[in-house]
Amino acid sequence: MDKAHFGLIGLGVMGENLVLNAERNGFSSVVYNRTYAKTEEFLKGRGAGKQIIGATSLEDFVAKLQRPRRILMMIKAGDPIDAMIEQISPLLEEGDLLIDGGNSLYTDTERRVATLESKSFGYIGMGVSGGAKGALEGPSMMPGGTKAAYDAIESLVRKMAAQVDDGPCVTYIGPGGAGHFVKTVHNGIEYGIEQILAEAYDLMKRSAGMNGDAMADVLKQWNATEELSSFLVEITEICLRTKDPADGADLVEKIVDAAGQKGTGLWTVESALQMGVPVPTIYAALNARVLSSMRSERMAADGLIQAPASRAINLGTPADAMAPLMDACVLACIASYAQGMALLQEASKLHNYNLDMSAIGQIWKGGCIIRARLLQRIQNAYTAKADLANLMVDPWFADQIQRRIAGLRQVVAGAAAAGIPVPCLSSSLDYIDSYFTGRLPQNLVQAMRDCFGSHTYERVDQPGTFHTEWM
């Protein structure tokens, strides 16, 4: 094989699948891994008989690539990326391009873009979503950096990305760390939806006494609707139907109830706090994971407070697809998307990303973890009004809220009375009620702040800033 079109550093599952995806789409590749034994194993196994060659060193790797070189790094975020950049930079030439396809903090990517571009190298921070299967068959890809750098890889990524009716699930996101920021927020929305579905499962199990198959039947009905048809609902049904081969019991009930969080959910919440954007549904999902990790404490505390006498909640019936619970999940998912999109809009203003919100909706319709039929409605909303203040005020979404809010209230109130925690559902209700309320009680907060600290306040009936001697 002559020199390869494309280079990959890092032969983890995602790296292997992405290079196989590129090869299937006509791009020959050279691969490098820190341990050459891993490279040999891949070349003799999944990479055998394909237009893929190995490299024993970074010098060998760079020498086997066509110029300008296009190099995708699929290695751990943080210091390992900086270390690899330091090692490989002396081997690169003007016009060569490095791509970070991992989940990097967007501010790190901003720094790396500025540094590498100053050396006349291209640098792209590219969010990749879809898991191992998506990487192989077609992920959603979110590349950010200079437009010239994106142009150098456009022919490659458009073929590698998932394909939907209106095009590939990849677009130029924006400058600097825009691509990684969009991927971070994607993951924040994902946290929210996963927790929403977990709360629905918990309610059906603890209040309605349903087993895995009965719950899966409900999820199957939900997945047939426009509002909830999605990859996450689809796999939730699969998880609930799966049995433990040892005894035939629902496998999900054998799994320890402690979930971790690797960083992107936290980064979403931290960014939202820094930018002044409320994301209560996403925060509640993150907080639920943190609380779940305190398993020994929770088990020790279990039973110290007497449970309510009844845990019966009117969630609907399987015959009506648990209509009130479905209403609650639809609105909570809408709230999670709305919060994520609002955060993207604010970041776009602060960092001059010039994000195309409609295009982001489009590239999330296929390949990625949060792909859903609802994203067509999101794409439509931002196509109709690019500067939409909040997704919830779009006419279609506002109508959904009007028609389903009673179900969300019923479920949250019932869960509170039954002592079953529903942090995402209740936070979503608070978010919706707060957003659609013209006057909130923070006027009293402002009065208290002025009372104890002379922080001053503004009045609704006259202009200016005021202070009162309250005591």
Active-site residue list: 183, 190
The residue behind tokens 């013209």 is 438
Distances (CA, A) of 255 to 81, 169, 371: 34, 34, 26
Closest C-alpha to 365, from 188, 89, 165, 72: 165
CA distance 194 to 197: 5
Count Cα atoms within 13 angstroms, Cβ side, for 347.
Answer: 32
Contact (Cβ atoms closer than 8 angstroms) between residue 97 and residue 123: yes
Question: Two tokens at 208?
Answer: 């309605």
CA distance 359 to 179: 13
Question: Two tokens at 16?
Answer: 């292997």
3-state secondary structure the chain: CCCECEEEECCCHHHHHHHHHHHHCCCCEEEECCCHHHHHHHHHCCCCCCCEEECCCHHHHHHCECCCCEEEECCCCCHHHHHHHHHHHHHCCCCCEEEECCCCCHHHHHHHHHHHHHCCCEEEEEEEECHHHHHHHCCEEEEEECHHHHHHHHHHHHHHCCEECCEECECCCECCCHHHHHHHHHHHHHHHHHHHHHHHHHHHHHCCCCCHHHHHHHHHHHCCCCCCCEHHHHHHHHHHHCECCCCCCEHHHHCCCCCCCCCHHHHHHHHHHHHCCCCHHHHHHHHHHHHHCCHHHHHHHCCCCCCCCCCCCCCCCHHHCCHHHHHHHHHHHHHHHHHHHHHHHHHHHHHCCCCCHHHHHHHCCCCCCCCECHHHHHHHHHHHCCCCCCHHHCHHHHHHHHHHHHHHHHHHHHHHHHCCCCHHHHHHHHHHHHHCCCCCCHHHHHHHHHHHHCCCEECCCCCCEECCCCC
